[in-house]
Amino acid sequence: MDQVNLKRLAKELNLAISTVSRALSDSYDISEGTKKKVLALAKKLNYQPNPFARSLRNRSSKTIAVILPEIANNYFSVAINGIEEVAQANNYHVLIYITHENLQKEADIVRLLLNGRVDGILMSLSGGPEDTDHLKELQESKVPVVFFDRVSDTIETAKITTNNFESGYLATSHLISRGSQRVAYLTYSGELSIEQQRMKGYMESVSKRGLLFREEFIVCCNRNSAENYEKIKELFSADGRPDGVFASVESLAILAYEVCSELNLRIPEDVKIVGFSNLRTASLLNPALTTITQPAFNMGREAAKALFEALKKPHIKMEDQTIVLRSNLIERRSTAAN
């Protein structure tokens, strides 16, 4: 029974619980004298208010959730940094959930959070179709959500993205301008909005630059699959193999490097490669990888900011906080002209 709570403080000071409570919250109608006494004792006993009693009473948890498809990936870890910074500044706690690209898990997690455990959610979708039940339930609940990077097209709320279409266009055009004639596109399922945007940019560039569009140059990989390596190897082994590759995801760019190494294809002489990536070591690769780099930290920060804005001003429209940031093409040796 050495719990330090309001009751204990009140008893030791011969005050009512309510008085102590108000003294601690610096209420106007408490005399300076008692305030000081209360604060002194609270400090001495190291009083820490019980967070659950508070949350129960106030219907607010001082906690947000971050739902991610994966984490061992520089983009998401850096984004978390941005989120965490804003959360700490707002005295909020951050719960983390990883879906491992598994829609069912994503659904379970979302449902877990609709009972008031968190005041808001930051989310980057796992791959797959977007019109899912759990997203609808999420929308119907009043828990505010901000999507970042892998956003939902179907839900109206704040979304933090980058200019994916333009980046896809730019990456492809960059390859072409450096001499690639047969440009392949590596992607995952393609059901996510951002994947479609990037692909559209690729297609547009291919067609505008007058390249021949080839079905077999679009390689659709599976997340969490060991077969992707083989798929890419096949692409590179065929007659009329590509001489340029645009990887829409970091992990596929890495696979492409590994395949090239096995097949003794020289980068950039035989194949030029550009990929979406936030790798710290992109410039140290062999050869240095040309990347489309997203402002991961800022995306996390802006997403968190948008959420806290909504928490502070419940009346504002989430949609109005949508932001499109810019990714950068950083040219390195993997796309050097021959």
Partner DNA sequence: TTGAAAGCGATACCAA
Partner DNA sequence: TTGGTATCGCTTTCAA
Binding site for its own copies (CB under 8 A): 48-53, 55-56, 61, 63, 71-74, 76-78, 80-81, 84, 93-98, 111, 114-117, 254, 257-258, 261, 279-281, 284-288
324 binds, among DNA, its own copies, none (CB under 5 to 8 A by kind): none
Tokens read off for 61: 């948890």
- Distance CA(260)–CA(232), nearest Å, equals 9
Q: Residue 148 gets which letter from DSSP?
A: E
Q: At what angle do helices 74-89 and 296-312 cross, to 10 degrees?
A: 40
Could you give the angle at which helices 17-24 and 32-44 cross, rounded to 10 degrees? Answer: 90
Binding letters toward DNA, positions 182-221, x by CB under 7 A: ----------------------------------------
Sheet architecture: strand order including 183-187:
218-220, 183-187, 244-247, 272-276, 290-293, 328-330
Q: Which residue, 28 or 52, has its beta carbon nearer to its own copies? A: 52
Does the protein bind DNA through residue 6 (CB under 7 A)?
yes
Under the criterion CB under 7 A, does residue 40 sit at the interface with DNA?
A: no
Q: Which is nearer to its own copies, 64 or 211 (CB)?
A: 64
Stretch of residues binding DNA (CB under 7 A), selected from 47-55, 67-75, 271-279, 296-304:
47-55
| Residue 25's binding partner out of its own copies, DNA, none, with CB under 5 to 8 Å set by partner kind | DNA
Categorise residue 122: left if φ over 0, alpha if ψ from -120 to 50, beta otherwise: beta
308 in Cβ contact with 90 (< 8 Å):
yes
Question: What is the closest distance, in whole angstroms, from the C-beta atom of residue 117 to its own copies in the complex?
Answer: 5
Q: Does 21 bind DNA (CB under 7 A)?
A: yes
User: 53 or 284: whose CB is closer to DNA?
Assistant: 53
- Please count the residues of the chain: 338
Amino acid at 153: D
**Rounded (5°) CA angle 197-296-313:** 90
- Residue 264 touching DNA (CB under 7 A): no
Sole window of 24-32, 121-129, 268-276, 321-329 interacting with DNA (rule: CB under 7 A) = 24-32
- 58 makes contact with DNA (CB under 7 A): yes
Block residue for tokens 């596109």? 185
Beta-carbon count within 10 A of 134 CB? 16
- The nearest distance, CB 40 to DNA, in angstroms, is 14
What is the β-pairing status of strands 183-187 and 218-220? parallel
d(CA 53, CA 66): 24
49 binds DNA (CB under 7 A): yes
Pick from DNA, its own copies, none: which does 264 bind, CB < 5 to 8 A by kind?
A: none
By CB under 7 A, the count of residues binding DNA is 30
Provide, rounded to whole angstroms, the least separation between the CB of residue 207 and its own copies: 32
Crossing angle for the helix pair 17-24 and 6-13, to the nearest 10 degrees: 110
State the nearest-atom distance from the C-beta of 112 to its own copies, in Å.
8
Secondary structure of residue 130 in the 3-state scheme: coil
| Site of interaction with DNA (CB under 7 A) | 3, 5-7, 14-19, 21-25, 28-31, 33-34, 47, 49-50, 53-54, 56-59
